[in-house]
Chain A
Amino acid sequence: MSNDIWHDDEHLLASLTAAMREAEEVPPRFVEVGKAAFAWHNIDAELARLTYDSSEAEAEPAGVMRAQDASLRALTYATAELSIEIEITPDAVLGQVLPPQPGRATTYLASGPAAEAAVDEMGFFAIRPVPHSAFRLRCVMTSGLDVKTGLITP
């Protein structure tokens, strides 16, 4: 990088032009979504620990495989009080809360809540559609338990 960039007017103006273009190319919405991502920081739910991830458990004995189709992604998140088993199918995020209890489950993208579904008395839920990009899941149970997961990359 030559010092001309700083000391020569033509170079400086050309560098400034390139720098301004670089920022102008970015759609305002892209920046807004990024800013909105911070809201998750303030959601006061308990962060559940990832205890099982099928994508990192390839060597597991066949008998332990829970997903019938090996291509389906299965994950388990747990806190001291409950666990959430998740299966990501092509059209839905399926979940089972244990011990079974009702509530609501919501997927979150950086831009905010994406889709939500009721968790039935048996602790089952199905959220449609599956987000295109990485998301988090939050389960607010009628018992008062409020749990969020880490980032899930479909």
Chain B
Amino acid sequence: MRDDPEVIALVTAARDGDVEAWNRLVERYAPLVWSTCRAYRLAASDIEDVGQTVWLHLVEQLPRLRVPAALAGWIVTTTRRECLRLLRVTHRVEPADGVGEAAGPADDQQDIDERLLAYERNVALRAAFAQLPPRCQHLLSLLMQDPVVPYSVISIRLGMPHGSVGPTRARCLDRLRHCPALAALIDARADTTGGGDRREQ
């Protein structure tokens, strides 16, 4: 895991009672709790119960969290434990028959690490998107829709010539790539794929 200075700053501030820092931590990690629960195929109401427990635990753990950078890992582990506990108490899984783990994704460390790397990448992508000018956000939002919105419709919606949609798309994606939130991650990745010994933990 990267020692993300932003996470460390948020944890430290929340520990000191800064409610804004706490809110940003919740915004940052709520999708992680949610998607982890979804992997256990829990119903929406059960996911809410798990969420309640995870956040309350986190409020309690904040002062004791030794390594703030390990927060994401702590959240995944706690969420998984709560999902399994919920499955057990609702008798959907018998604790003794060993299917507890089978009900959810494999629990090995490598699996968690890969998931957290992918998650932090998504956090960076969302942060970078939020930093784009409104016009780029609008265009990319249209391009991300499912089913696909044709260029002819996009050109009308954005009031730009049909021939400009493609080049504007390329420019906006390039801006995204160079947003500070993402640029740092791309650099780190280039280091690790380059096989150098600067590989971060």
Contact = CB atoms under 8 A, between A and B. Distances in A.
A64 B142 CA distance: 67
Interface stretch (A14-22, A74-82, A96-104): A14-22
Given A26-B30, A30-B30, A153-B85, A109 B52 contact: yes
Contact of A42 (B17, B55, B117, B121): B17
B23 interface: yes
Interface stretch (B66-74, B101-109, B155-163, B185-193): B185-193
A57 to B, nearest CB: 19
A150 to B, nearest CB: 7
A110 B177 CA distance: 37
B121 A12 contact: no
Contacts of B35: 22, 25
B40 interface: no
Contact of A18 (B30, B38, B122): B122
Interface residues of B, number: 50
A23 B125 CA distance: 11
B10 to A, nearest CB: 12
A30 B27 CA distance: 10
Contacts of A26: 30-31, 34
Contact of B173 (A3, A12, A22): A12
B44 A27 contact: yes
Contact of A34 (B55, B62, B121): B55
Given A25-B34, A30-B34, A35 B23 contact: yes
A23 B31 contact: yes
Contacts of A19: 121-123, 125-126, 129
A33 interface: yes
B198 to A, nearest CB: 16
B56 A6 contact: no
Contacts of A33: 48, 51-52, 55
A132 B53 CA distance: 10
A135 B30 CA distance: 19
Contacts of A35: 22-23, 26
Given A9-B169, A12-B176, A134-B53, 16 more contacts: A9-B170, A13-B144, A19-B122, A19-B123, A20-B144, A22-B122, A25-B38, A30-B51, A31-B27, A33-B51, A37-B55, A37-B56, A41-B17, A109-B56, A132-B49, A151-B53
22 contacts: A1-B189, A6-B177, A9-B169, A13-B143, A13-B173, A15-B122, A19-B122, A20-B126, A20-B144, A23-B31, A29-B48, A30-B33, A30-B51, A34-B33, A34-B51, A37-B56, A38-B14, A40-B56, A41-B17, A109-B56, A110-B51, A133-B50
The 9 closest A-B CB pairs, nearest first, are A19-B122, A37-B55, A133-B49, A34-B26, A19-B125, A134-B53, A110-B52, A38-B22, A133-B52
